[in-house]
Amino acid sequence: MNRFDSDERGFISRSFLLAIIVFALLGIVIIDGSSILFAKWQLSDVADAAAIDAAVAYRTSETEQAARDAVTSVLADRDKDAVIKKLTIDPQTGEVKLTLMKDTPTLFVTHIGPLKDFAHVEATSIGKPPPA
């Protein structure tokens, strides 16, 4: 009778350990996924603000450098890890199309080769200058 009791306890212990591992992995996936999602939302907000500021700067100075400086200023204030990937200006309308990118710090995704691209987030926004 003791032989069967110990076998069942071992089975329960292994099942419990497996459940803990599964829940831990699930928790990591949720945490890393949330980090990436929130980083994308934040970067989108920063891109919106930077594109509008760049459009206003371009309207007043009509130089691409002024627009780029406006974007750099917004990034310095709101997200120091974000970088400008692409900045294009339509000289006729003053419309600015801005793409920002950044790498999201995560617990595991950034350390696993095939998953690293998921931690790389980008956001594109179009800023229109206010009416004259």
Half-sphere exposure of 14 (CA within 13 A, CB side): 6
Q: What is the pLDDT of residues 109-119, one digit of tens each?
A: 888 888 888 88
Residue positions counted in the chain: 132
Question: Taking 80 as the threshold, does the pLDDT of residue 100 lie above it?
Answer: yes
Domain positions in the chain are 2-127
Averaged pLDDT of the chain: 89
Per-residue pLDDT averaged across 67-71, rounded? 96
pLDDT for 3 beyond 80: no
pTM: 0.80
Give the gyration radius of the chain's Cα atoms: 24
Report the percent of the chain where pLDDT is more than 70: 91
pLDDT for 6 beyond 70: no
Calpha distance 126→109 (Å, rounded)? 30
Residue 54 has φ and ψ, to the nearest 5°, of -65, -40
Residues 6+ positions from 90 with CB-CB distance below 8 Å: 96, 97
- Residue 28 has a CB neighbour count (10 Å cut-off) of 14
Whether pLDDT at 131 is above 90: no
Question: Could you tell me the pLDDT band of residue 21, with boundaries at 50, 70 and 90?
Answer: very high
Max intra-chain CA distance, the chain: 90
Average pLDDT over residues 2-19: 68
Q: Tell me, what's the pLDDT at 81?
A: 93
Per-residue model confidence as pLDDT tens digits over 35-52: 999 999 999 999 999 999
